[in-house]
Amino acid sequence: MTRYIDIRKNTYLDSVSLMSMSTKANAVEGVTQALLGMATPMNKEVLANVGVHDPAIDAARPSDLMIVIDAADDLVEDAIQAVNDILARKSRGAGDTAEVRYRTLDGAFSEVPDSNLVLISVNGAFAAREARKALVAGKHVMIFSDNVSVEDEIELKSLAHDKGLLLMGPDCGTAIINGTGLAFSNAVRRGSIGIVGASGTGSQEISVRVHDFGGGVSQLIGTGGRDLSAEVGGLMMVDAIEALAADPETEVIVVVSKPPAEEVAEKVLGVLGATGKPAVVCFLGSPRTESGHANVQLVSGTKPAALAAVLATGVDESTLDLHALNLPLIEEVRAKLAPEQRYVRGLFCGGTLCDEAMFAALATFDNVYSNIQKDPSYVLGAADPSKEHTFLDMGDDDFTDGRPHPMIDPSLRLQRLVQEADDPEVGVIAMDFILGFGSHEDPVGVTIPAIEEAKAKAAARGQHLEILGYVLGTDLDTPAIADQVAQLEAAGVTIASSSTNLGLLAREFVAKGDH
Amino acid sequence: MSITSLFSTGLKPVNLGLDMFAEDLTAQGVAPVRMDWTPPGGGDPEIIAALGRLERPELAERIDAANEEAVSRVLAAQPFLEGFGQAIDTVPGMTRRTILHAGPPISWERMSGPMKGAVTGALVFEGLAKDLDEAGELAGSGEITFSPCHEHQSVGSMAGVTSASMWVHKVTNRTHGNTAYTNLSEQLSKILRFGANDQSVIDRLNWMRDVFGPILAGAMELNEGGLDLRLLLSQALHMGDEAHNRNVAGTTLLIQALAPYILETDFTTKEKREVFDFVASSDYFSGPTWMVTAKAAMDAAAGIEDSTVVTAMCRNGVDFGIRVSGTGDQWFTGPAQQVIGPMFAGYTEADSGLDMGDSAITETFGIGGFAMAAAPAIVALVGGTVQEAMGYSRTMNAITTTNNPNVTIPALDFMGVPTGIDVRKIIETGILPLINTAIAHKDPGIGMIGAGIVHPPLEAFQQAIVTLADTIGA
């Protein structure tokens, strides 16, 4: 043990800093005791009480700094250096700028009064209360959270309506407001097409297709998937359509949804009719074919919706690459599949993408199973093995319970992919890859090993397994779509150019030319 | 803002939840306001339900109005130092055999080590026991009345032990007419209020009783106008004090105001010199003065029906107690916490007693930890940076009703100190008041060993919100 005593004449440090420095000095390796203090009578007494006596200390004056370090013999030099560094305050790094974070919305609003929209993604049990606060404060709201009761949804939407505010959601995954994507969204050109979606990935897909056709999006408003139910009655859909009708930047309005309650569909179409603006409606899977309004066009899928919208802005169809179905490709794939490979297995992140592929299959086949099937006799649970044609929305609650969405965490989908490859009756595995804000940074990259494993399994029993991929994204997204497509092609995956084409190709590959 | 006008305005989002969404917004050049949110009431359904009842619009309106009244009284209060007197002659309900103590009520048996040390020292000082052993027996005999300072219009720092012949400040809130008391600073280290009680402590108390108190009292008799303490306090904050742990400026201002009158008293020059030397021996002389200033202001806000404003926070080394305006004199308690901060050389956390003292009345009023940004020189107490100190003061805005325009923080563009702690906001935000305080040794007879920061236990506020919901929501 070595004792080091240093008296620094006329060196003043305030007592609080010294206490703090002493605490740090005592934590230095090798130090058994470090005492830093001004040489006041009280501090000298403290030193005496712990057995430190030295003539230099006796002689020191209150304006002198006393440094006493007891340290292991071999470490004393390092300890002195470390304590000197502490005294020189070298330990404090840059980056002292603490970011202000607010604990309550009221606190945030009072400090940032011009904030105008609140994006809520806290646990659903608490989301409604926060949304109510935001609306009361006059802010627009997007509720990403799910598990908000329908009663709360109706109350919040009525409150928003009364105050002239947006209440997007609950369970609303996407929006683009003034060119800024919120939650899950893609980087698309700004333009004159306004989208109102009661389906998240459906809205994303239309925005991407619009971009792909050279058009742009003025606003994309997500209403939450329940908005067009009989209970909620399209409360937000109607307000959003009217807002787009009044928006001078919006020339064409696109509405996308799963099939709405019939009376709600009627209401929405009426509101669209009254806008006088060209409107395109895609009620996926709905049997309705006529809108009843001259300016409102009903279409069957997301790609036709985007195309109709772009054409309605005055673009000449002959200038567009429509990505027609590749018929020779269909023949080629059919030829590679063995006769028993009759079925499609769809493993989806995007609910609407799953829906669209499933409806394409249902147009030809009856034996289509899914966790989102309307017909109860064809419903599969998350734990059930796949059966005949199976389309799984792996972003649905039964798969995401207690785990992140597959757009963020693909592990469950990777397992399922390898598992499906064990079934010799499977001809095609269809998959979506969703790029953009909120998504996994490299959704294709993480999937390639599982794709290779699946293909190898089929090859081992002498079969060709067709993996059909669709990448939802734009050239402006990170990662860019071209990089992701190139990775898939290198792994032998066939690429569909849209959600709509994905469904059609998957169906046709296994159709055996028998219809 | 209507939906269409949103479309023609810059988007300014607030992100409540997943951080990745905030990062995506930032990447798009639209940096969101970010939140550090936790579920209200710690997620406890009973507490959320109580909060929810108080949030019903008709109740919330009544509460807001009552709180407005409470804080307007705090802001309007004008505490003036009127003089000094001995506790037996001035403090309401004081008797020769009464010992006032800090914090909520506590029996002798449950008292912490330092409080027991202070009590026995005071009994010796008062001549009620010949030594500490006898004092200990007397304290446990039932012949001594123990009572919280707060129940006698008083506050006491650390152990808060106040006995009959000790001198106290007399401070009157001239706006509302109420008076408050607190004893004199014994200065720092080995002193009664930290539980030390040897002969040096008793000798000092004797000198304070025989010289210090009488000179201060004599000085104030010559000052007929009294001293405007709020004004002095406000100046002290502008000079770098937060008026709980740092009292350098306030002490200078206070003794400067008293000095001319001290000089005019009939005491000897030697005695006057002793007073000045004693005051100069520590920066803490004015500490109790700001406590009683705060007490005089907060008492004016007590007992307002429907108000959820906290009027006292205090601790006895075992329990932390709060009082709320709308529930009057009722105490809500939880366990006293460990104070975290640097220690004097030779001591460790294992030596420290739990949080103690009525000094948190300063934070209740809005100074101390709440005014940390005014006192950058003491941020080292929390091992933090000046930026963080700024953040502490701003953060306290989230749990308070208003800002005090009479007591401001220059570095925050003269923001008034956050004032009027609202129980509802504590429950909603999960933010607890930040208290700057000292650390006493856990054993009797030793004294101060450090300083740091501490938070009250959430339980006290949870009890309060449930009682408030039952009272106001009934």
Measured CA angle at B185 (ends B181, B190), to 5 deg: 135
Contacts of A96 in chain B (CB under 8 A): 385-387
How many Cα atoms within 13 Å fall on the side-chain side of residue B77? 33
CA distance B381 to B388: 12
Inter-chain CB proximity B381 and A16 less than 8 Å: yes
Q: Please, is B454 exposed, middle or buried when counting C-beta atoms within 10 Å of its C-beta (0-12, 13-18, 19+)?
A: buried
pLDDT digits (tens, 9 = 90+) for A303-313: 999 999 999 99
The reported pLDDT for the residue numbered A301 is: 92
The reported pLDDT for the residue numbered A93 is: 38
Read off the pLDDT of each residue in B330-336 and give the average, rounded to a whole number.
Answer: 97
CA distance A161 to A141: 12
Place of tokens 């005019």: B264
- Would the ipTM clear 0.90, i.e. be above it? no
Mutate to test the interface with B, among A3, A69, A104 (most CBs of B within 10 A): A104
The reported pLDDT for the residue numbered B383 is: 64
pLDDT digits (tens, 9 = 90+) for B273-297: 999 999 999 999 999 999 999 999 9
Contacts of B49 in chain A (CB under 8 A): none
pLDDT digits (tens, 9 = 90+) for B138-170: 999 999 999 999 999 999 999 999 999 999 999
Average pLDDT, rounded, for chain A: 91
Q: Is the peptide bond prior to B148 cis by the omega test (within 30 degrees of 0)?
A: no
C-alpha to C-alpha distances, A416 to A231, A356, A386, A404, A447, nearest whole angstrom: 36, 20, 10, 16, 11
How would you classify the pairing of strands B332-335 and B319-324? antiparallel
Mutate to test the interface with B, among A26, A66, A120, A407 (most CBs of B within 10 A): A120
Inter-chain CB proximity A103 and B431 less than 8 Å: yes
Query: What are the backbone dihedrals phi and psi of residue A382, each rounded to the nearest 5 degrees, phi first?
Result: -60, -30
CA distance A226 to A228: 6
Residue count of chain B: 474
Nearest residue on chain A to B38, alpha-carbon basis? A103
How would you classify the pairing of strands A466-472 and A494-496? parallel
Copy the structure tokens of residue A349.
Answer: 């992140």
Burial A149-173 (b: 16+ CB within 10 A, else e): eeebbebbbebbeebbbbbbbbbbb
Query: What are the backbone dihedrals phi and psi of residue B266, each rounded to the nearest 5 degrees, phi first?
Result: -90, 10
Number of neighbouring beta carbons within 10 Å of residue A442 = 17
CA distance A353 to A429: 14
Read off the pLDDT of each residue in B20-38 and give the average, rounded to a whole number.
Answer: 92
The reported pLDDT for the residue numbered A99 is: 64
Percent residues over pLDDT 70 in chain A: 97
Asked if residue B369 lies in contact with residue B199, where contact means CB atoms within 8 angstroms, the answer is no
Residue B259 vs residue B438, higher pLDDT: B259
Inter-chain CB proximity B7 and A437 less than 8 Å: no
Asked if residue B455 lies in contact with residue B368, where contact means CB atoms within 8 angstroms, the answer is no
Inter-chain CB proximity B25 and A138 less than 8 Å: no
Task: Name which of B28, B189, B343 is nearest A23 (Cβ-Cβ).
Answer: B343
State the pLDDT confidence band at A8, using cuts at 50, 70 and 90: confident
Percent residues over pLDDT 70 in chain B: 100
CA distance A258 to A226: 10
Name every residue whose Cβ is closer than 8 Å to that of residue B461 and which is 6 or more positions away in sequence. Answer: B322, B332, B423, B426, B427, B432
Query: Where would I find the H helices in A337-396?
Result: 351-362
The reported pLDDT for the residue numbered B71 is: 98
Contacts of A218 in chain B (CB under 8 A): 7
Inter-chain CB proximity B6 and A107 less than 8 Å: no
Q: DSSP secondary structure string, B110-139?
A: G--HHHHHHHHHHHHHTTSSSSHHHHHHHH
Mutate to test the interface with A, among B1, B3, B194, B372 (most CBs of A within 10 A): B3
Read off the pLDDT of each residue in A457-478 and give the average, rounded to a whole number.
Answer: 96
Read off the pLDDT of each residue in B444-470 and give the average, rounded to a whole number.
Answer: 92
Read off the pLDDT of each residue in A465-492 and give the average, rounded to a whole number.
Answer: 96
Residue A402 CA to chain centroid, in angstroms? Answer: 16
The amino acid at A511: A
Copy the structure tokens of residue B20.
Answer: 């990745």
Q: Which of B70, B204, B91, B205 is nearest to B149 (CA)?
A: B91
Number of neighbouring beta carbons within 10 Å of residue A471 = 27
Mutate to test the interface with A, among B33, B198, B244, B248 (most CBs of A within 10 A): B33
Task: Name which of B20, B36, B387 is nearest A96 (Cβ-Cβ).
Answer: B387
Range with the lowest mean pLDDT among A356-370, B47-61, B87-101?
A: B47-61
- The alpha-carbon gap from B432 to the nearest alpha carbon of chain A, in Å, equals 11
Inter-chain CB proximity B1 and A138 less than 8 Å: yes
CA distance A263 to A280: 18
pLDDT digits (tens, 9 = 90+) for A69-82: 998 888 888 888 88
Query: Where would I find the H helices in A276-410?
Result: 302-312, 327-336, 351-362, 397-400
Nearest residue on chain B to A13, alpha-carbon basis? B377
Measured CA angle at A204 (ends A202, A209), to 5 deg: 95
State the pLDDT confidence band at B473, using cuts at 50, 70 and 90: confident
Task: Name which of A118, A129, A183 is nearest B14 (Cβ-Cβ).
Answer: A118
CA distance B136 to B142: 11
Res A97 pLDDT > 60:
no
Read off the pLDDT of each residue in A94-116 and give the average, rounded to a whole number.
Answer: 77
Candidate ranges A11-15, A208-212, A282-286; pick with highest mean pLDDT: A208-212
Read off the pLDDT of each residue in B171-179 and give the average, rounded to a whole number.
Answer: 98
CA distance B404 to B418: 7
Size of interface A-B (CB pairs under 8 A): 196
Asked if residue B73 lies in contact with residue B63, where contact means CB atoms within 8 angstroms, the answer is no
Task: Name which of B2, B189, B377 is nearest A16 (Cβ-Cβ).
Answer: B377
DSSP 8-class letter at B194: G
How many Cα atoms within 13 Å fall on the side-chain side of residue A416? 24
Q: Which of A343, A319, A485, A489 is nearest to A420 (CA)?
A: A343
Contacts of B2 in chain A (CB under 8 A): 164-165, 243
Q: Which of B166, B101, B87 is nearest to B139 (CA)?
A: B101
State the pLDDT confidence band at A514, using cuts at 50, 70 and 90: low
How would you classify the pairing of strands A174-177 and A167-168? unpaired
pLDDT digits (tens, 9 = 90+) for A149-208: 999 999 999 999 999 999 999 999 999 999 999 999 999 999 999 999 999 999 999 999
pLDDT digits (tens, 9 = 90+) for A326-377: 999 999 999 999 999 999 999 999 999 999 999 999 999 999 999 999 899 9
Res A428 pLDDT > 90:
yes
pLDDT digits (tens, 9 = 90+) for A53-66: 899 999 888 778 89
Range with the lowest mean pLDDT among A25-34, A168-177, A201-210, B308-317?
A: A25-34
State the pLDDT confidence band at A390, using cuts at 50, 70 and 90: very high
The reported pLDDT for the residue numbered A257 is: 95
C-alpha to C-alpha distances, B67 to A107, B223, B398, B402, B417, nearest whole angstrom: 17, 36, 15, 10, 17
Q: Which of B319, B307, B306 is nearest to B298 (CA)?
A: B307
Task: Name which of B38, B381, B425 is nearest A20 (Cβ-Cβ).
Answer: B381
Asked if residue B135 lies in contact with residue B120, where contact means CB atoms within 8 angstroms, the answer is yes
Contacts of A95 in chain B (CB under 8 A): none
Number of neighbouring beta carbons within 10 Å of residue A453 = 13
Q: Please, is B44 exposed, middle or buried when counting C-beta atoms within 10 Å of its C-beta (0-12, 13-18, 19+)?
A: middle
Task: Name which of A20, A102, A125 is nearest B35 (Cβ-Cβ).
Answer: A102
Which three-class secondary structure state does DSSP give residue B1? coil
- The alpha-carbon gap from A485 to the nearest alpha carbon of chain B, in Å, equals 23
Inter-chain CB proximity B7 and A218 less than 8 Å: yes
Residue A472 CA to chain centroid, in angstroms? Answer: 13
Angle between helices B199-207 and B113-125 (to 10 degrees): 60
DSSP 8-class letter at A99: P
Inter-chain CB proximity B380 and A17 less than 8 Å: yes
CA distance B71 to A407: 50
Inter-chain CB proximity A99 and B342 less than 8 Å: no
Inter-chain CB proximity A119 and B431 less than 8 Å: no
Contacts of B386 in chain A (CB under 8 A): 96
CA distance B272 to B212: 9
The reported pLDDT for the residue numbered A515 is: 47
Nearest residue on chain A to B430, alpha-carbon basis? A103
Which three-class secondary structure state does DSSP give residue A324? coil
Res B67 pLDDT > 90:
yes
Contacts of B451 in chain A (CB under 8 A): 16, 19
B99 beta partners: B146
Task: Name which of B32, B345, B388 is nearest A37 (Cβ-Cβ).
Answer: B345
